[in-house]
Structure 1
Amino acid sequence: MPWTVEEKTFCVDSYFETKSMMTVQSRFKKKFNCRKYPDKKLMYRWVHKFRTYGTVLNLNAKGNRATHSGRRRSSRSAAIIDAVRASVLQNPHKSIRHRSKELGIPRETIRRILVQDLQPECDAHNRPSFMEKQPNVPSCPSTTEQHPTVISGDTNQPDTQD
Protein backbone atom coordinates (compact mmCIF):
# COMPACT_ATOMS: atom_id res chain seq x y z
CA MET A 1 0.00 0.00 0.00
CA PRO A 2 1.55 3.32 -1.01
CA TRP A 3 1.52 5.79 1.83
CA THR A 4 0.37 9.36 1.19
CA VAL A 5 2.55 12.38 1.87
CA GLU A 6 0.16 13.41 4.65
CA GLU A 7 0.61 10.04 6.40
CA LYS A 8 4.39 10.19 6.05
CA THR A 9 4.65 13.73 7.41
CA PHE A 10 2.33 12.85 10.30
CA CYS A 11 4.64 9.96 11.26
CA VAL A 12 7.78 12.10 11.03
CA ASP A 13 6.20 14.95 13.04
CA SER A 14 4.89 12.55 15.68
CA TYR A 15 8.29 10.89 15.98
CA PHE A 16 10.02 14.24 16.53
CA GLU A 17 7.47 15.04 19.27
CA THR A 18 7.53 11.72 21.12
CA LYS A 19 10.74 9.92 20.06
CA SER A 20 8.77 6.67 20.32
CA MET A 21 7.66 4.54 17.36
CA MET A 22 5.06 2.74 19.46
CA THR A 23 3.38 6.05 20.25
CA VAL A 24 3.58 7.10 16.61
CA GLN A 25 1.88 3.85 15.54
CA SER A 26 -0.96 4.25 18.04
CA ARG A 27 -1.46 7.92 17.06
CA PHE A 28 -1.46 6.90 13.41
CA LYS A 29 -4.26 4.34 13.99
CA LYS A 30 -6.36 6.91 15.87
CA LYS A 31 -5.86 9.79 13.42
CA PHE A 32 -6.40 7.84 10.18
CA ASN A 33 -8.90 5.39 11.69
CA CYS A 34 -7.35 2.30 10.18
CA ARG A 35 -6.02 -1.06 11.30
CA LYS A 36 -2.90 -1.05 9.14
CA TYR A 37 -0.05 1.22 10.01
CA PRO A 38 3.55 1.54 8.78
CA ASP A 39 6.06 -0.65 10.56
CA LYS A 40 8.94 0.77 12.58
CA LYS A 41 11.56 0.11 9.95
CA LEU A 42 9.64 2.07 7.31
CA MET A 43 9.02 4.99 9.66
CA TYR A 44 12.73 5.08 10.58
CA ARG A 45 13.52 5.31 6.85
CA TRP A 46 11.09 8.25 6.49
CA VAL A 47 12.71 10.02 9.47
CA HIS A 48 16.18 9.39 8.06
CA LYS A 49 15.10 10.64 4.63
CA PHE A 50 13.63 13.78 6.20
CA ARG A 51 16.81 14.43 8.15
CA THR A 52 19.00 13.83 5.08
CA TYR A 53 16.98 15.47 2.27
CA GLY A 54 14.46 17.61 4.15
CA THR A 55 11.50 15.90 2.49
CA VAL A 56 9.49 12.70 2.58
CA LEU A 57 8.58 12.96 -1.10
CA ASN A 58 9.67 10.32 -3.58
CA LEU A 59 12.98 11.56 -4.98
CA ASN A 60 12.81 9.11 -7.89
CA ALA A 61 9.55 10.47 -9.29
CA LYS A 62 9.55 11.03 -13.06
CA GLY A 63 8.61 14.71 -12.76
CA ASN A 64 11.46 15.30 -10.31
CA ARG A 65 14.48 14.76 -12.61
CA ALA A 66 16.75 17.24 -10.81
CA THR A 67 17.05 14.91 -7.80
CA HIS A 68 16.64 11.61 -9.63
CA SER A 69 18.92 9.11 -7.95
CA GLY A 70 18.49 6.22 -10.38
CA ARG A 71 20.62 5.17 -13.33
CA ARG A 72 22.14 8.07 -15.21
CA ARG A 73 20.97 8.69 -18.72
CA SER A 74 23.27 8.33 -21.69
CA SER A 75 25.96 10.97 -21.97
CA ARG A 76 25.87 10.98 -25.76
CA SER A 77 25.27 14.69 -26.30
CA ALA A 78 26.01 16.47 -29.56
CA ALA A 79 29.13 18.12 -28.09
CA ILE A 80 30.56 14.78 -26.93
CA ILE A 81 29.79 13.13 -30.27
CA ASP A 82 31.58 15.99 -32.07
CA ALA A 83 34.60 15.64 -29.77
CA VAL A 84 34.80 11.89 -30.48
CA ARG A 85 34.38 12.53 -34.23
CA ALA A 86 37.26 15.05 -34.17
CA SER A 87 39.42 12.61 -32.21
CA VAL A 88 38.72 9.84 -34.72
CA LEU A 89 39.55 12.10 -37.66
CA GLN A 90 42.78 13.17 -35.96
CA ASN A 91 43.96 9.63 -35.20
CA PRO A 92 41.72 6.80 -36.45
CA HIS A 93 44.07 4.08 -35.17
CA LYS A 94 43.92 5.09 -31.50
CA SER A 95 42.30 2.52 -29.23
CA ILE A 96 39.02 3.18 -27.46
CA ARG A 97 40.73 2.94 -24.08
CA HIS A 98 43.33 5.60 -24.97
CA ARG A 99 40.67 7.80 -26.57
CA SER A 100 38.61 7.50 -23.38
CA LYS A 101 41.52 8.66 -21.20
CA GLU A 102 42.37 11.50 -23.57
CA LEU A 103 38.81 12.87 -23.75
CA GLY A 104 37.78 12.07 -20.18
CA ILE A 105 34.71 10.16 -21.39
CA PRO A 106 33.81 6.66 -20.16
CA ARG A 107 35.07 3.86 -22.41
CA GLU A 108 31.61 2.37 -22.93
CA THR A 109 30.22 5.76 -23.98
CA ILE A 110 32.97 6.11 -26.61
CA ARG A 111 32.25 2.60 -27.88
CA ARG A 112 28.52 3.36 -28.06
CA ILE A 113 29.17 6.61 -29.96
CA LEU A 114 31.47 4.85 -32.43
CA VAL A 115 28.99 2.03 -33.08
CA GLN A 116 25.65 3.84 -32.97
CA ASP A 117 26.40 7.42 -33.99
CA LEU A 118 29.55 7.46 -36.13
CA GLN A 119 29.35 4.01 -37.79
CA PRO A 120 26.40 4.96 -40.05
CA GLU A 121 28.47 7.87 -41.39
CA CYS A 122 31.17 5.50 -42.65
CA ASP A 123 30.84 4.09 -46.12
CA ALA A 124 31.38 0.35 -46.15
CA HIS A 125 32.91 0.51 -49.63
CA ASN A 126 35.63 2.97 -48.58
CA ARG A 127 36.90 0.93 -45.62
CA PRO A 128 40.06 -1.07 -46.30
CA SER A 129 39.61 -4.78 -45.97
CA PHE A 130 42.03 -6.96 -44.06
CA MET A 131 43.30 -8.56 -47.25
CA GLU A 132 44.33 -5.30 -48.90
CA LYS A 133 47.85 -4.03 -48.41
CA GLN A 134 47.92 -1.24 -45.83
CA PRO A 135 50.08 1.80 -46.77
CA ASN A 136 52.30 1.91 -43.64
CA VAL A 137 52.45 -1.80 -42.88
CA PRO A 138 55.34 -3.74 -44.45
CA SER A 139 54.17 -6.77 -46.35
CA CYS A 140 55.31 -10.21 -45.34
CA PRO A 141 57.57 -12.00 -47.83
CA SER A 142 55.81 -14.84 -49.53
CA THR A 143 56.94 -18.40 -48.93
CA THR A 144 57.96 -18.86 -52.54
CA GLU A 145 60.54 -16.05 -52.25
CA GLN A 146 62.14 -17.67 -49.21
CA HIS A 147 62.01 -21.17 -50.66
CA PRO A 148 62.17 -20.99 -54.44
CA THR A 149 62.04 -24.77 -54.78
CA VAL A 150 58.42 -25.81 -55.07
CA ILE A 151 57.54 -29.43 -54.48
CA SER A 152 55.01 -30.74 -56.90
CA GLY A 153 53.21 -33.99 -56.95
CA ASP A 154 51.88 -36.20 -54.20
CA THR A 155 53.93 -35.80 -51.04
CA ASN A 156 52.47 -38.91 -49.38
CA GLN A 157 54.22 -41.26 -51.78
CA PRO A 158 57.85 -42.18 -51.08
CA ASP A 159 60.39 -40.98 -53.62
CA THR A 160 61.33 -43.81 -55.96
CA GLN A 161 64.12 -43.62 -58.46
CA ASP A 162 63.28 -45.29 -61.78
Structure 2
Amino acid sequence: EHGRRLRVVECYRPPAQQSRYFQEEMSRLSAEHPDMTSDQLIELAGWYVSPPWVAPHSCGGAVDVTLASLDGTELDIGYRINATPERPGETSFLDAHTLPEEARANRMLLLAAMSHGGWVSHWHESWHFEIGTRFAALMTDLDNSVYGVIADPHAESPRLYG
Protein backbone atom coordinates (compact mmCIF):
# COMPACT_ATOMS: atom_id res chain seq x y z
CA GLU A 1 0.00 0.00 0.00
CA HIS A 2 2.81 2.45 0.83
CA GLY A 3 5.27 1.24 -1.83
CA ARG A 4 7.71 0.08 0.82
CA ARG A 5 9.50 -3.12 1.71
CA LEU A 6 10.63 -4.36 5.07
CA ARG A 7 14.37 -5.01 5.08
CA VAL A 8 15.57 -7.46 7.74
CA VAL A 9 19.12 -6.53 8.69
CA GLU A 10 19.69 -9.06 11.47
CA CYS A 11 17.63 -11.76 13.16
CA TYR A 12 18.89 -14.93 14.87
CA ARG A 13 22.31 -14.51 16.46
CA PRO A 14 24.11 -17.62 17.81
CA PRO A 15 24.85 -17.50 21.57
CA ALA A 16 28.62 -17.63 20.96
CA GLN A 17 28.41 -14.53 18.76
CA GLN A 18 26.22 -12.74 21.33
CA SER A 19 28.69 -13.67 24.05
CA ARG A 20 31.54 -12.26 21.96
CA TYR A 21 29.66 -8.98 21.38
CA PHE A 22 28.91 -8.70 25.09
CA GLN A 23 32.51 -9.46 26.08
CA GLU A 24 33.78 -6.83 23.61
CA GLU A 25 31.41 -4.26 25.14
CA MET A 26 32.49 -5.26 28.67
CA SER A 27 36.16 -4.84 27.68
CA ARG A 28 35.51 -1.45 26.09
CA LEU A 29 33.61 -0.20 29.13
CA SER A 30 36.15 -1.63 31.56
CA ALA A 31 38.89 0.38 29.83
CA GLU A 32 36.75 3.54 29.98
CA HIS A 33 35.65 2.98 33.60
CA PRO A 34 38.46 1.12 35.40
CA ASP A 35 36.98 1.78 38.85
CA MET A 36 33.59 0.15 38.11
CA THR A 37 32.77 -3.23 39.63
CA SER A 38 31.96 -6.23 37.44
CA ASP A 39 28.26 -5.91 38.33
CA GLN A 40 28.26 -2.22 37.36
CA LEU A 41 29.96 -3.02 34.06
CA ILE A 42 27.45 -5.78 33.30
CA GLU A 43 24.57 -3.40 33.96
CA LEU A 44 26.07 -0.66 31.79
CA ALA A 45 27.02 -3.06 28.99
CA GLY A 46 23.46 -4.39 29.01
CA TRP A 47 22.20 -1.00 27.83
CA TYR A 48 24.03 -1.47 24.53
CA VAL A 49 24.42 -5.24 24.10
CA SER A 50 22.11 -7.80 25.69
CA PRO A 51 23.83 -10.17 28.09
CA PRO A 52 24.06 -13.61 26.46
CA TRP A 53 21.88 -15.24 29.12
CA VAL A 54 18.85 -13.10 28.10
CA ALA A 55 19.70 -12.07 24.53
CA PRO A 56 16.57 -11.88 22.39
CA HIS A 57 18.48 -12.38 19.13
CA SER A 58 19.75 -15.73 20.46
CA CYS A 59 16.24 -17.09 20.80
CA GLY A 60 15.08 -16.03 17.36
CA GLY A 61 12.55 -13.62 18.84
CA ALA A 62 14.24 -10.38 17.78
CA VAL A 63 14.86 -8.64 14.48
CA ASP A 64 16.65 -5.48 13.43
CA VAL A 65 14.75 -3.99 10.50
CA THR A 66 14.44 -0.92 8.34
CA LEU A 67 12.37 0.17 5.36
CA ALA A 68 13.32 0.15 1.69
CA SER A 69 11.64 1.33 -1.48
CA LEU A 70 10.28 -1.27 -3.90
CA ASP A 71 13.58 -1.13 -5.83
CA GLY A 72 15.49 -1.98 -2.62
CA THR A 73 16.86 1.48 -1.80
CA GLU A 74 17.04 1.93 1.97
CA LEU A 75 14.81 4.76 3.20
CA ASP A 76 15.80 7.46 5.66
CA ILE A 77 14.72 6.42 9.14
CA GLY A 78 17.02 8.90 10.84
CA TYR A 79 19.59 6.47 12.23
CA ARG A 80 22.19 3.85 11.49
CA ILE A 81 21.13 0.39 12.61
CA ASN A 82 23.14 -0.68 15.66
CA ALA A 83 24.25 2.88 16.40
CA THR A 84 25.16 3.23 20.06
CA PRO A 85 22.68 5.48 21.86
CA GLU A 86 24.71 7.77 24.08
CA ARG A 87 22.14 10.09 25.59
CA PRO A 88 18.38 10.69 25.49
CA GLY A 89 17.33 12.43 22.31
CA GLU A 90 19.86 10.62 20.11
CA THR A 91 18.42 9.64 16.77
CA SER A 92 18.39 5.93 17.61
CA PHE A 93 15.79 6.50 20.33
CA LEU A 94 12.21 5.75 19.31
CA ASP A 95 10.99 9.16 20.47
CA ALA A 96 13.87 11.24 19.06
CA HIS A 97 12.66 14.79 18.48
CA THR A 98 15.48 15.88 16.18
CA LEU A 99 14.46 13.84 13.14
CA PRO A 100 13.63 15.37 9.77
CA GLU A 101 9.92 14.98 8.92
CA GLU A 102 10.53 12.31 6.23
CA ALA A 103 12.61 10.19 8.62
CA ARG A 104 9.97 10.54 11.34
CA ALA A 105 7.20 9.48 8.93
CA ASN A 106 9.21 6.46 7.75
CA ARG A 107 9.97 5.47 11.34
CA MET A 108 6.30 5.71 12.31
CA LEU A 109 5.36 3.57 9.28
CA LEU A 110 7.92 0.95 10.36
CA LEU A 111 6.62 1.04 13.94
CA ALA A 112 3.00 0.71 12.76
CA ALA A 113 3.79 -2.21 10.45
CA MET A 114 5.76 -4.12 13.07
CA SER A 115 3.24 -3.39 15.84
CA HIS A 116 0.42 -4.59 13.59
CA GLY A 117 2.26 -7.91 13.31
CA GLY A 118 2.50 -8.22 17.11
CA TRP A 119 6.13 -7.09 17.43
CA VAL A 120 7.19 -4.89 20.36
CA SER A 121 9.54 -1.96 19.77
CA HIS A 122 12.57 -1.06 21.83
CA TRP A 123 12.55 2.58 22.99
CA HIS A 124 16.32 3.09 22.64
CA GLU A 125 16.83 1.07 19.44
CA SER A 126 14.05 2.03 17.08
CA TRP A 127 15.20 -0.58 14.53
CA HIS A 128 14.90 -3.44 17.06
CA PHE A 129 11.65 -5.39 17.51
CA GLU A 130 10.82 -8.46 19.59
CA ILE A 131 8.08 -11.07 19.77
CA GLY A 132 7.79 -13.97 22.21
CA THR A 133 10.79 -12.82 24.28
CA ARG A 134 11.02 -11.87 27.95
CA PHE A 135 10.91 -8.19 27.03
CA ALA A 136 7.92 -8.68 24.73
CA ALA A 137 6.10 -10.62 27.47
CA LEU A 138 6.77 -7.82 29.94
CA MET A 139 5.59 -5.13 27.54
CA THR A 140 2.41 -7.01 26.59
CA ASP A 141 1.49 -8.23 30.10
CA LEU A 142 1.99 -11.92 29.27
CA ASP A 143 2.82 -14.27 32.13
CA ASN A 144 5.91 -15.68 30.43
CA SER A 145 7.98 -15.61 27.29
CA VAL A 146 7.57 -18.05 24.43
CA TYR A 147 11.22 -18.40 23.45
CA GLY A 148 14.48 -19.21 25.21
CA VAL A 149 18.06 -19.13 23.93
CA ILE A 150 18.67 -21.59 21.08
CA ALA A 151 21.93 -23.43 21.69
CA ASP A 152 24.21 -24.17 18.76
CA PRO A 153 24.99 -27.90 19.03
CA HIS A 154 28.25 -27.42 17.10
CA ALA A 155 29.65 -24.57 19.18
CA GLU A 156 31.65 -24.70 22.36
CA SER A 157 29.81 -23.37 25.39
CA PRO A 158 30.19 -19.58 25.23
CA ARG A 159 31.73 -17.67 28.12
CA LEU A 160 29.08 -15.43 29.56
CA TYR A 161 31.47 -12.68 30.65
CA GLY A 162 34.79 -12.05 32.30
So what's the TM-score if we normalise by structure 2?
0.21
Rg larger in structure: 1
Higher relative helix content: 1
Higher relative contact order (Cα pairs below 8 Å, separated by 6+ residues): 2
The structure whose residues are more often strand, as a share, is 2
Normalising by structure 1, we get a TM-score of 0.21
